[in-house]
Amino acid sequence: MMRKPMLSRSLGVVALALALSGCADKADPGYQGWVEADLIFVSPDESGRITKLTVREGDEAKKGELIYTLDDDLQQADLNQNNATLANARQSFDRAQSLSKTGSGTQANLDSAVSALRVAEARVETSKTRLMRRQIYAPVTGNVQQIYFREGEMVAAQKPVLSILPPGNMKLRFFVPEAALPRLAIGDSIKVTCDNCAPDLTAKIYFIATTAEYTPPVIYSLDERNKLVYLIQARPERPASLRVGQPVSVYLTPKAAAPSPAAAGGKS
């Protein structure tokens, strides 16, 4: 009498296990991806020694805010020299203009003085710009990610002193197989999950590669076509919730299925 309840209970457990395994097989595993960022590298126009660094790694730099300065002795000397040249050019111009008014000077001398004056003025403006650019301001608003040179160190021209990450420059990168491409379009919203992250993270696709990765060299057999994957990039809706290099799982948002030809014919 005791065997029947035990047998039915065992059958129930087995049925439940099979049902759960079937659900697990049908569950969407998603696609594995990671977080990347397009950093803004802030470099000087000319080489020099860093005299002041006003930010640290992790600080928020606002656009137009002073972030570091370079020594400006050479630029100041160049400006002084060009100012002296400009003063001489103005004297020459005034003399040539006076002689031209009295008829004692030639038009050629006046034209030459005008040209020399304009060149001297342009060189002064160039020197002022070079001097001004020894003070480096943040080109964008964002968090300082890394500092490559410190106060007192020499930095070469066009060499980044630090990098800034604007929030809008965060992106997700993942690969999908060829069969999944019809389900994707620019502007589509996708669900994003990661370890200990908020449960409602989303992103929008802004790039779909037109070239496959890991492709065979010549002929695509049916098995080889199944191996083709395409790079997808998306912008997270809440970039502050993610970190650069963080692994994520991406789930495509289901789309409404198109009506079959038979169903469409039945409606007509």
156 within a domain of the structure (yes/no): no
pLDDT at 254 over 80: no
Q: Identify whether residues 83 and 33 lie together within a single domain.
A: no
Structural domain that includes position 89: 72-133
91 within a domain of the structure (yes/no): yes
Cα(76)–Cα(84) distance, integer angstroms: 13
Burial of 50 (0-12, 13-18, 19+ CB in 10 A): buried
How many folded domains does the chain comprise? 2
Cα(132)–Cα(55) distance, integer angstroms: 19
* Residues 58 and 113 sit within 8 Å (Cβ to Cβ): no
247 within a domain of the structure (yes/no): yes
161 within a domain of the structure (yes/no): no
152 within a domain of the structure (yes/no): no
pLDDT tens-digit readout, 110-162: 899 999 999 999 999 999 999 999 999 999 999 999 999 999 999 999 999 99
CATH number of the domain to which 185 belongs: 2.40.30.170
Q: Identify whether residues 102 and 180 lie together within a single domain.
A: no
CATH number of the domain to which 125 belongs: 1.10.287
Task: Provide the token pair at 171.
Answer: 């992106």
What is the model's pLDDT at position 179? Answer: 86
Q: Identify whether residues 128 and 171 lie together within a single domain.
A: no
Q: Identify whether residues 172 and 227 lie together within a single domain.
A: yes
How far the first Cα of the chain sits from its last, in Å, is 63
Q: Greater confidence, 240 or 122? A: 122
